[in-house]
Amino acid sequence: MRVSAPPYIGTALLALVACGPSVDLDGSPGAEAGLGTSPGAPGTSGDNGNALETTDSGQAKLDIAAAFDVGAPPPPLPPGMCPPDCQLQLSRDWIFNGPPSDRVDPQSEIAVVDAGDGTTIVADQREGAITPARLDASGQQLWTAPLALPCDPCRLSNIALHPTSTDLLIAGYGADVMGMPIAVLARVEREDHTVVWSVDSPLVDGLRVTPRAGSVAVVHETLIVQPVVHAAPRPDLEAIELNLHDADSGSLILSQPIASAPPPASPWVPRAASFDQLVVVAYAGPDTQSQGQFTWLDPLSGDVSLTAIRTDPIAGLVSSEQRVISIGRASGGRAPMLSVRSATLAEPAEWEVYEDSEFDFHEPSAIVADQLGHAHAAVQLTGARPSTVQLWRWTETGDLVWRVSLPLVTDPAGTPIALDVRDDTSLILGSFSEGGVHVERRTPSCQCG
């Protein structure tokens, strides 16, 4: 296991395309841009990497990891990192703002996903209703409509792409017409937002247990899995199970028991990610105050390959290549600190990175992986002025590619910032602003000369 403690300055991974003046790293032209600088350069916060300053145009400044030994020939630059005489900028390609409202509260949720066809899907949950929208390649809204689901109120867990069609998957939980807790899964047509099917699965209420359902993952292209938590037969425990649904019809095939544990102090939702032919489920561990737990299992047989402990709660989980990457708040430190950890079956503690922050941050944090195996993360800082979102990118070995502070006004919500990454490594950010849905796409590029 490799551990990197803050301040953490790493090198990047990909093989860089040559940069000319304002050249996009993925070959497309930039728009509005925030310029980045090397750590310690004039106008930055220095070695601590918390460059919260902005350019005159109000865009983001970037901290770039220095990867050169004095007196030694420079190594090849990895993709995503600019040459020493260039600045990395995060160009804003487009922005979408939904109509303002007063419907956002601390329970509101937002999620975004790149649809893979140039369009973007955003879903928000406000006042117990889940409303998806589809944006075209320039950020213009194609459609939006609240979904008729079997829950009222509903809580949004995540959105995903259906494995064998162009449809969408909406995952959540809530209460049925009788007020009983249920997990909810829906398949929605991408072109006209028709609900193909929606299914609900009963959850067991308990005195100290908050029934809830987490993010969905796809396995074998035939199964949709969703972890759920509800009351166990023992009144002092909650049961963690994995619901298996047929990807075509949505029918519940079975529920695999995973674990039982005391209810955590904060009932965070479980996470699921596909891992080769297995599923990784992250949930609250036996130490209800500070621990998370991973279980690798075969969804059909229920055979468990590995269970591992993480020493802090898991706010986000993503699979990449042959590893899963989790994100959360590091426990025990006096300063706010983000922890990012990679795990494989062979090495459950493959690497871990700690990133310090000048300001505290909201949870949950967003984490996604690109097609190169790089992890991208975003958190919304509290107390920073102007309102700021912090973003990071790491290689598949945990080396820092870049870190950026992006001025972005966000409303307090259950999920204050949502994130996805496109195949060209441009980022899609989602949030609430003035009560409305806010989405923007930004592309990394180099400003040279």
**pLDDT, tens only, 190-213:** 998 999 999 999 999 998 899 999
**Residue 324 domain-assigned (yes or no):** yes
Q: From the CA atom positions of the chain, what is the Rg in Å?
A: 21
What backbone phi and psi angles, to 5 degrees, belong to 46? 90, -150
d(CA 254, CA 231): 18
CB atoms within 10 A of CB 343: 25
Side chain identity at 33, as an amino acid letter? A
What pLDDT was estimated at residue 72? 63
**Mean pLDDT, the chain, whole residue set:** 81
Total domain count, the chain: 1
The candidate with the shortest Cα–Cα distance to 184, out of 238, 243, 232, 231, is: 243
The candidate with the shortest Cα–Cα distance to 378, out of 414, 397, 405, is: 405
Q: What tokens appear for 113 in the block?
A: 């996903």
**Residue 278 domain-assigned (yes or no):** yes
Digit-coded pLDDT (tens) for 13-46: 333 333 444 444 544 333 344 433 333 232 222 2
- Give the range among 102-111, 153-162, 199-208 with minimum mean pLDDT: 102-111
Side chain identity at 384, as an amino acid letter? A
Q: Which residues contact 178 (CB under 8 A, 6 or more apart)?
A: none
Q: What is the CATH number of the domain that holds 427?
A: 2.130.10.10
pLDDT at 249 over 90: yes
- Give the range among 248-257, 295-304, 383-392, 400-409 with minimum mean pLDDT: 383-392
pLDDT at 253 over 80: yes
Digit-coded pLDDT (tens) for 263-311: 887 788 999 999 888 999 999 876 655 578 889 999 999 999 999 887 6
- Give the range among 88-92, 381-385, 445-449 with minimum mean pLDDT: 381-385
What pLDDT was estimated at residue 320? 83
CB atoms within 10 A of CB 257: 11
d(CA 109, CA 95): 19
Read off the pTM.
0.83
**Residue 78 domain-assigned (yes or no):** no
132 lies in which domain range? 96-444
List strand residue ranges (DSSP E) for 74-194, in order. 86-97, 109-114, 120-126, 129-135, 141-144, 154-161, 168-175, 181-188
First to last CA, the chain: 40
Name the more confident of 160 and 61: 160
**Residue 84 domain-assigned (yes or no):** no
Read off the pLDDT of each residue in 114-139 and give the average, rounded to a whole number: 95
What pLDDT was estimated at residue 41? 30
pLDDT at 317 over 70: yes
Residues in the chain: 449
Q: How confident is the model at residue 242 (pLDDT cuts 50, 70, 90)?
A: very high
Place of tokens 């007020």: 179
**Residue 7 domain-assigned (yes or no):** no
**Residue 177 domain-assigned (yes or no):** yes
pLDDT at 12 over 50: no
Q: Which residues contact 229 (CB under 8 A, 6 or more apart)?
A: 203, 209, 210, 211, 212, 213, 214, 238, 239, 240, 241, 267, 269, 270, 283
The candidate with the shortest Cα–Cα distance to 213, out of 190, 188, 240, is: 240
pLDDT above 70 covers a percentage of the chain that reads: 80
**Residue 47 domain-assigned (yes or no):** no
